[in-house]
Amino acid sequence: MQDEKVCADAVSMMADAGIRLTDRERGEIELAGFGLDNFEREGLALVVYVNGDRYCAKELVLFAGQTCPEHRHPPVELEDGRTDPGKQETFRCRAGSVYLYVEGAGDAGGIKAKVPSGSEAYYTVFHEVVLTPGDQYTIPPNTLHWFQAGPEGAVVSEFSSTSRDELDVFTDPRIQRVEAQEG
Amino acid sequence: MQDEKVCADAVSMMADAGIRLTDRERGEIELAGFGLDNFEREGLALVVYVNGDRYCAKELVLFAGQTCPEHRHPPVELEDGRTDPGKQETFRCRAGSVYLYVEGAGDAGGIKAKVPSGSEAYYTVFHEVVLTPGDQYTIPPNTLHWFQAGPEGAVVSEFSSTSRDELDVFTDPRIQRVEAQEG
C-alpha cells in the first residue's frame, strides 16, 4: 500500500513539472531503495522511457531531502569484444532542486546536502553542483557521484548511454541494486 | 526581428509544457528551415541539450501544422573503422500532438496530416503514428520519416544516438540542412 502512495506522489510531482506518463508507465515506476530498507532517506523513483544498446532516457523523482547513494558506472566488456567505458549520463533538472556531488575539489563540511546519518563512510566525493530547473550536468563514465534533492524535492531527466543498473558499483558495501518493484 | 519572435514563441510553448531553458539555451535555439524559405510551413525550432559520441537529447518545437520534411539518417563510417548504422531516435510528445509518418502500411489519402501543397512528390511514407502527451515512438536507423504538428502545435523530446544533422538524407532534393541560426 505504501508503494502505491509513493508512486502516486511521484506521478504528482512529475505532473506538476508538466510530465505526462502513460498508464503503463505509471504501473512500471521503479522505487529503488538499494536494499537499505530506508527508501525515504536513500532511494528514488524512476521511469525508464527507453534503454537500448545505444542510448537511454529516464525520469528521476526524489522527494525532499532524499538521496541517491554514491556510486559509479564501471567499464563493461561487450559481447563483440569492445569495451564500453561505462555509462555516461546527463542530468537535467526539470523541477525543484538537486545537489549533485562528483569527484573533485570540495569537502563534507561545506556542502548544502546532508550526508545520511550513520552512512558518512560511504560518501566520499564532495565537489558540489547545484541544479535548478533548466540546469544540467554531464557525469563522465566511471566517476563517483551521488545526489540529494533540495527541500522541494526534484524531478530530473537523465539522458545517457546504455544503462546497466545491475553493474553499478556503490561505495556502501551493504547496497545491492534491487530489481524493479511494480508500483 | 521575425526570428526573435519565433524563438520567443517557441520558448513560450516550452514554458507552457513545463520546460525551462537557461538564458544561453534561449540564445541558441535553432530555427531549421531546411533551405526552403517557408519556415512556417516546413520547419521546426530545436534546442540541443547534449550531443556527443554516445547519445543526444533535444527538445523540438513545431507550431500548429508545421512539418519536418521527410528524411532518413543513413549509416556513417566512423574514424575507428566501425560503421554507425545511422541515428536511432525516440520521440516523446510532451505537449500538443504530432502526426508521425514512417515506412509501412498507409497511404497519402488516409492520414491526419496535410502534405505540404506542391511538395507531394517528396512525401512517400504514410504509416501513421499519432503522439499525444506521454506517448513515444522509436524510429529505427536509416528509416524514412516525417512529422507534422497538430492544431495546437507540439513539443517533443528527442532521445537518440549521436546526431549528425548534416548527413541527413532528405527526399526533397531542394533541401539543404542549414547551419544553426542564432535566435
Query: Tens digit of pLDDT for each residue in B95-138?
Result: 999 999 999 999 999 999 999 999 999 999 999 999 999 999 99
Q: What is the residue whose three cell numbers read 533551405? A: B35
Residue A178: CATH number of its domain:
2.60.120.10
Amino acid at B175: I
Count structural domains, chain B: 1
Place B176 in a pLDDT band, splitting at 50, 70 and 90: confident
Contact A136 B95 (CB under 8 A): no
The yes-or-no verdict on residue B171 having pLDDT over 90 is yes
The answer on pLDDT for A40 being more than 60 is: yes
pLDDT tens by residue, A83-129: 999 999 999 999 999 999 999 999 999 999 999 999 999 999 999 99
Structural domain of A113: 3-182
Chain A residue with the nearest C-alpha to that of B133: A20
Q: Closest-CA residue in chain B for A158?
A: B57
State residue B183's pLDDT score.
34
Task: Read off the pLDDT of residues B17-54 as tens digits, 9 standing for 90 and up.
Answer: 999 999 999 999 999 999 999 999 999 999 999 999 99
Residues of A within 8 A of B25 (CB-CB) are: 134
Measured between beta carbons, the chain A residues lying within 8 angstroms of B91 are none
Cβ-defined contact of B49 to A136 (cutoff 8 Å): yes
Determine the average pLDDT of the residues in A60-68: 98
CA nearest to B86 within chain A: A54
Considering the entire predicted model, what is its pTM?
A: 0.94
- Per-residue H/E/C for chain A: CHHHHHHHHHHHHHHHCCCCCCHHHHHCCEEECCCCCCCCCECEEEEEEEECCCCEEEEEEECCCCEEEEEECCCEECCCCCEECCCCEEEEEEEEEEEEEECCCCCHHHCCCCCCCCCHHHCCCCEEEEECCCCEEEECCCCCEEEEEEEEEEEEEEEECCCCHHHCEECCCCCCCCCCCCC
Query: What number is the ipTM of this complex?
Result: 0.94
